[in-house]
Amino acid sequence: MTLSMDRETFVAHAGDVQGAEDDVDTGDPAVIRVATEIESEITPLSAYAALTGRTTDADAADHAFLLESGGKTAASDPDGAFRPSHATTDRHARYSFVGYDPEAVVTVGDDGAEVDVLGDDRYGDLIETNGGDVVDELRATMPDVRREGFDDSDRQRLDGGLVGFLGYDAVYDLWLDEVGVERPESRFPDAEFVLATRVLTFDDVEDSIELVFTPVVRPEDDAGAIYDSLAAEAERVESLLADAEPPETGGFDRVGETAGPREEYEDAVRQAKEHVLDGDIYQGVLSRKRELYGSVDPIGFYAALREVNPSPYMYLLAHDDCSIVGASPETLVSVLDESVMVNPIAGTCPRGAGPVEDRRLAGEMLADDKERAEHTMLVDLGRNDVRRVAEPGSVRVDEFMGVLKYSHVQHIESTVTATLAEHHDAFDATRATFPAGTLSGAPKIRAMEIIDELERSPRGPYGGGVGFYSWSGDAVFAIVIRTATVESGVDPAAVPDAAAVDADAAAAIDGSLDRITVQAGAGIVADSDPTAEFEETESKMDGTLAALERIEDGAARGEGERAAPADATAERSAQGGGDGEGPATEDGTSSEGAGRSADAAADDEAHRAEEPASDQREPAVSGDDAARDGGSVDEEQPATDDTAEQEVGR
């Protein structure tokens, strides 16, 4: 096996670099990229199972992650990974990532940051905390290093760094503490990330697998010994993957379930409407949760979810006694090189039987005053958020109210980009855009105050972000929706009476229970109907719950192929975009515009077969002149309402 860097070069990079340029401070620690190609036909999920000791049992891996996407790119369109690229038409995946054996776990809560060193003791000296807010703490824990051996021409890759989740409840630390809102008790920290230095990268274009090491090495460290350990680890991983079998994934044994009463949620919707009518907010996103109890295998759950609802962001994160299993369609924020991007998704209508009806339904959606007003509000909010960290004059709406087609639905989507200001970084961009307007409302801070008042319980990871900060300075986060948390080790005595646990079923499970929490929200505006909003939350949870039901009925089985492509053969968008968008029916289509005549179906049916199977994007269509056919709207375009200005004023 050959590593990408020889031992002599590695040692030189760790200490005094012969011939280094004068501006290189060779006294600083270096993160050095060393990689090797792995010859294997293994899939990402099987690799995750093998690397975390999960090939024969269903015990949770301590700390690991799997990041995939529900699309598969063509060689002619090679960009893309767990994240989308900043080219807004790219919704396919090139790379998948498996991370294992991290050097440390960083947990940030109400009492600040805690660092648990899992690997080399050297990282105890390299990782710092600073007592700042949650984002400042994360920035401090990422060692300040010079990079060696990296190829910056390919910024789509994840070569290590901080990987994890930033929960919605970080809003108390970032925004609500300063306006006097008291933080609720929560079972989850504000953030939990691993410092990843071992990542297995799957390249679907090259059909290759690369094992990437990114150790941090100080001049005083024994660099030769570190290099030798990497070479030995590469040999071990290649042998392990060569012998690995597809994992026998476990199922779901349900013993109880609880959910908030319908009447309680509908009453909260009425109160939120009063806030809208009083002029406190334009929109607020109210969520509710369902908790299921029993025994579940997170790997089996994830495998079922990627079959039921393949999405641009698929993730399985294991942290001690909690796993996060998700299939999110929406970007929270992406920082790639010097470009920052957000892309609000709001507005849904069904697909037609062919191109003619597709265009009619999309046109009706785009002509709907309510859909347009809500979407424009979210775009204005995104522009305002991005402007906080952007070079003056660089904020652009690269696409405004474009229609993106999926297998069963069409969405309205816009993309806001800017050049990151020289004095800002990816951590600043996260703070500026967090939380997403589609999960909070507008103006943001007042909407978050109302959410705190009406939801009456912490959200945990839901509504936050899952993603990474890379050694290259990039950051990519998906919004945590269409996601479940799986907490193990729950004492049966702590299960609420409302869960109606089957005592006999619970007794059949040795020891403790798993708690599976699924959550969804609806955007509340002046004319919202409380019953319809409740049904919307139920519909948005259906895809995640369907994955549980699949393994509940099917029990254990071997792993299938990689994530299904997000095309016309997959019910990819059954759950829609952000949680602030319109209601969906049980089959995943929007209730709005769902009716269609048999004559229209017959008229379009012949055209349907002519369409390609992949996702399609209509040119931006609206009554405005802005951003049509790939054009852009620059920063100076006036907002269509005063959402942005009011948000700044809060």
Three-state secondary-structure class, residue 415: strand
Q: Is the separation of the CB atoms in 94 and 206 below 8 Å?
A: no
- CA distance linking residue 430 with residue 60, whole number of Å: 29
**Where does 297-443 have alpha helices with state H?**
298-308, 355-367, 369-387, 426-433
- Is residue 70 packed enough to be buried (19+ CB in 10 Å), middle (13-18) or exposed (0-12)? buried
pLDDT in tens, 396-446: 999 999 997 755 567 799 999 999 999 999 999 999 999 999 999 999 999
Three-state secondary-structure class, residue 80: coil
Q: Scanning the structure block, which residue is given the tokens 């994830």?
A: 302
Supply 604's token pair: 């379009």
Go through the domains of the chain in sequence order and give each one's CATH number. 7-15+28-338+420-584 (3.60.120.10)
294 is known as an active-site residue: no
The predicted model scores a pTM of 0.84
Name beta bridge partners: 350.
409
Name beta bridge partners: 213.
34, 198
164 is known as an active-site residue: no
Among 525, 521, 446, 531, residue whose Cα is nearest residue 274: 525
Residues ≥6 apart with Cβ < 8 Å to 159:
33, 150, 199, 201, 212, 214, 470, 471, 472
Supply 592's token pair: 């709005």
Among 559, 486, 492, residue whose Cα is nearest residue 296: 486
- CA distance linking residue 312 with residue 84, whole number of Å: 7
**One-character DSSP codes across 255-280:** EEEEE--HHHHHHHHHHHHHHHHTTS
- Catalytic pick from 122, 408, 411, 446? 411
- CA distance linking residue 314 with residue 337, whole number of Å: 23
Among 478, 359, 365, 360, residue whose Cα is nearest residue 411: 365
Alpha carbon dihedral 349, 574, 477, 152, in 10-degree steps, equals -90
Supply 80's token pair: 């893309």
Q: Is the separation of the CB atoms in 155 and 337 below 8 Å?
A: yes
CA atoms within 13 A on the CB side of 607: 14
- Catalytic pick from 139, 482, 550, 572? 482
- Cis before residue 215, ω within 30 degrees of 0? no
Three-class DSSP labels, 581-623: CCCECCCCCECCCCCCCHHHHHHHHHHHCCCCCCCEEECCCCC
- Catalytic pick from 172, 406, 462, 469? 462
- Cis before residue 355, ω within 30 degrees of 0? no
- CA distance linking residue 69 with residue 566, whole number of Å: 9
In Å, how far are 311, 467, 571, 635 from 74, measured between CA atoms?
17, 24, 21, 34
End-to-end, the C-alpha distance of the chain in Å comes to 58
R_g of the chain computed on alpha carbons: 24
Supply 269's token pair: 């919707």
Which regions of 420-509 does DSSP assign to beta strands (E)? 441-442, 465-470, 475-479, 483-490
Supply 610's token pair: 């002519």
Task: Give the mean pLDDT per block of 10 residues along the chain (650 residues).
Answer: 94 66 63 96 94 57 87 39 45 81 96 92 92 96 93 83 98 96 95 97 93 95 96 96 87 91 98 98 97 95 91 92 93 94 85 92 92 91 97 96 74 93 97 97 97 97 98 95 95 81 71 92 92 90 93 58 34 47 39 36 38 41 36 40 32
Supply 558's token pair: 């071997």
- Rounded-to-5 percentages of helix, strand, coil across the chain: 30, 30, 40
Q: Scanning the structure block, which residue is given the tokens 């039987």?
A: 353
| Predicted pLDDT at 399 | 92
DSSP code for 422: T
pLDDT over 90 percentage in the chain = 61
In Å, how far are 37, 83, 146, 385 from 5, measured between CA atoms?
12, 28, 17, 42
- Catalytic pick from 331, 438, 517, 643? 438
Which regions of 214-251 does DSSP assign to beta strands (E)? 216-217, 248-249
Handedness of CA 108, 109, 111, 117 (dihedral sign): negative
523 is known as an active-site residue: yes
Among 311, 263, 234, 387, residue whose Cα is nearest residue 547: 311
Q: Is the separation of the CB atoms in 255 and 513 below 8 Å?
A: yes
Residues ≥6 apart with Cβ < 8 Å to 41:
none
Backbone angles phi, psi at 426, to 5 degrees: -65, -30
| Predicted pLDDT at 640 | 36
**How would you classify the pairing of strands 30-32 and 146-148?**
parallel
- Catalytic pick from 523, 582, 588, 593? 523
Three-state secondary-structure class, residue 453: helix
